[in-house]
Amino acid sequence: MQVEICYELSAGKNAENKYKGRNRYLDKIKGIDKAIEITKTKMQKIEKQKSKKPELEILKKEIKDKEWFEKFKWFYTQNGFLVIAGRDAKNNEQLVKKYFKEKDLYFHADIHGAPHTVLLNPEKKEISEIDKEQAANFAAIHSSAWKSGTYSVDVYSVGYGQVSKSAGSGESLGTGAFVIRGKRDYYKKIDLTLVVYFDSIKKKVIVAPISINKEGFKVVPGNVKKSEICKILKEKFEKKGHKVSVDDLMSLLPPGDCELKN
pLDDT tops 80 at residue 194: yes
Please compute the mean of the pLDDT values over residues 119-139 and round it to a whole number: 97
Quote the pLDDT of residue 59.
Answer: 42
pLDDT beyond 70 at 198: yes
pLDDT, the chain, mean = 86
Within 8 A by CB and 6+ apart from 262, the residues are 218
- Looking at per-residue confidence, does 142 or 170 come out higher? 142
Nearest-angstrom CA–CA distance, 4 and 84: 91
- Residue 71, pLDDT > 50, answer yes
Pair 106, 118: CB distance under 8 Å: yes
The strand pair at 152-159 and 105-109 is best described as antiparallel
What is the rounded distance in angstroms from the CA atom of residue 197 to the CA atom of residue 215?
6
Say if residues 217 and 233 touch (Cβ distance below 8 Å): yes
- pLDDT exceeds cutoff 60 at 60: no
Torsion over CA: 178, 179, 185, 190 (sign): positive
Helix (H) or strand (E) holding 138: helix 129-141
Across residues 51-62, what is the average pLDDT?
49
* Residue 148 CB coordination number (10 Å): 12
Confidence of residue 56 (pLDDT cuts 50, 70, 90): very low
Is pLDDT above 80 for 63? Answer: no
Q: Is 163 left (phi over 0), alpha (psi -120 to 50) or beta?
A: beta
More confident residue, 81 or 61: 81
Give the pLDDT score at 54. 52
For the chain, give the number of residues: 262
At 216-231, the pLDDT tens digits run 999 999 999 999 999 9
Instruction: Decide which of 163 and 50 is more confident.
Output: 163
Query: Region 117-142: what's the mean pLDDT?
Result: 97
